[in-house]
Amino acid sequence: MECKSAWAREAIITHVKGHGIKVKKTDVPELTKLFEEYNTIKPGTLTTPKPDQPPVEGLAIWDEAFACAANNCTYCCRMQSSLHQHWNDCHKDLPATGIYRFFQKPVQTFCLVPKRYFSVLPIGPNEDPTTPLGLYKRYLQEEGTRHRNALTTNPPTHVKEVPPLLQVTNWHQHLAEYTKDKTSIHHLCSLMKFSNPKNSRPGFDRLGEVVFSYLKNIRKKANEAHIGINCLLMECPRTTQNGPYWRPHASNETLKDYSSLLHHFAHAILSTLAGASTSYQFPLSPEDQARGTKLLELLTSSQEDITQSFHEFISPFLFAGTSLDSTGKYSKWASVLECCLAIYCLNDDGTFRKPQYVTQVFAKVVYHCRGATLYEALENIDTFNGDPYKAVEHYATKHLRPGILSPYNAVIDYQRFATSLVLSSSSPPVTRVSRDGTLITHADKTLSTLQSPTYSLGVPESPWESLGVPGSPWEAPRDSDNPWKLLVNSYSLEIP
């Protein structure tokens, strides 16, 4: 019978009884003498081996276990949920999510109580870890861990590698300083991500509710308005009586979906005012900052309807405004909405959303521009002697008229271009490989070739020396893992 576990000296006698072995009271002194004679380790003095060493002989091995992927962290467990809990407790500031938080490795533990797992090499029953194959697998595992934790990105190095949509939007150029590594990307993307209500900043848990109420208020105004007024939101100035009219979404579910985008934008802007983990700053004027600060105070202290304050805060970003940056020079990045779109469409690996995933985003922004224009006009109806048509015509001409520089027109042009890309694209997405061959980007996905031995394309110079084995052959063993195949969106990429 093999127990395959270690026990503290005080617990051994109780443990062996569980195996059906009877221990008499007269045997206890003799056993205690044996413990002293063999110099058994006292509780609390046992240290676990270094990770990724050959398995300890005699201990049980759990093959399907998990090791934390964070740098210099040796935590291991057998449940994926335990690993995620560990990550949230100890590494919540690191940008990894999902499967990027762990490696699947075999683990062992000396004692079942308490359990302190450590990772070991996945050596087969007839496999020697000191052979070239064993050393090669160990190298790939260690190099993969190092490379994965480096959190590097794979930006385009030539204009031909830049997707067509980015060549028009230039999002990648605007955010280049903040997308050099995945940690920076994580902090930048966190502007758009909602926190758990229990952990969110004061007032931020109410923001989504306020945005939804704002859109319902706009819907109510639109439903009560004359059809000619809603036509102005689609075509201004009106040249015929045959144009379409703007219709707000009647479904609360759809309206909630649309409010989510505005919620993301507002959350990002307010986060920079409240103190964010990224150094990125929106081009906010002193007036914008004052309105944002006021809204934060109302979100925290007031329980009354603050949709008017939210409109005052968000509407300047949806309306035509200045195109001059802080230095007085023209820049499209003087528009807060342009900046919001760039961050919102940024993926965790430094790539950006494909055209088919941004057309709906643009449609939602257009919807919000029209809704905010209607709200602004009807709130200032007294300026036009109570005439709603003249009020809406004035603000629609100012912010929605074709041929002017406005966020509304910019987004319509983006949407038109993105739609044409979706409808005309028939070729496979661009695939690029980093100079060192460790990162491959296909469409909007980036794969590290060193994440596991299965994805290995080869190794840089002298992996054996890095393992302390000078003079060993450089080339990988021929019986190592098979070539890999990457399947993305029905396109196959094979590297022999």
36-55 pLDDT per residue, tens: 666 666 656 677 788 878 88
Q: Are 229 and 392 in contact (CB under 8 A)?
A: yes
pLDDT at 269: 93
Mean pLDDT for the stretch of residues 403-418: 91
| CA angle (317 as vertex; 313, 322 as ends), nearest 5 | 120
Supply the DSSP symbol for 383.
Answer: G
Q: Which residue has the tokens 């790939």?
A: 140
Distances (CA, A) of 417 to 152, 307, 414, 429: 31, 34, 5, 17
Mean pLDDT for the stretch of residues 430-447: 73
- Give the mean pLDDT of the chain: 78
Write out pLDDT tens, residues 171-191: 999 998 888 877 788 888 888
98 φ/ψ sector (left φ>0, alpha ψ -120 to 50, else beta): left
pLDDT at 479: 46
Amino acid identity at 217: N
Q: Are 388 and 374 in contact (CB under 8 A)?
A: no
Could you tell me the pLDDT band of residue 482, with boundaries at 50, 70 and 90?
very low
Distance CA 286, CA 202 (A): 23
Mean pLDDT for the stretch of residues 233-254: 87
Instruction: Say if residue 204's pLDDT is above 70.
Output: yes
Question: Rounded to two decimals, what is the model's pTM?
Answer: 0.63
SS3 content of the chain, % helix, strand, coil (to 5): 50, 10, 40
Supply the DSSP symbol for 352.
Answer: B
Instruction: Say if residue 20's pLDDT is above 80.
Output: no
pLDDT at 239: 80
pLDDT at 313: 93
pLDDT at 205: 84
Distance CA 342, CA 386 (A): 39
CA 475 to chain centre: 37
Q: Which residue has the tokens 């949709």?
A: 307
pLDDT at 127: 61
Q: Closest Cα to residue 430, out of 157, 219, 80, 183?
A: 157
Instruction: Say if residue 303's pLDDT is above 90.
Output: no
Instruction: Say if residue 353's pLDDT is above 80.
Output: yes
Q: In percent, how much of the chain has pLDDT > 70? A: 71
Q: What is the DSSP string of 145-176?
A: HHHHHHTB----SSGGGS-HHHHHH-HHHHTG
**C-beta atoms surrounding 247 within 10 Å:** 13
| 265 vs 34: which has the higher pLDDT | 265
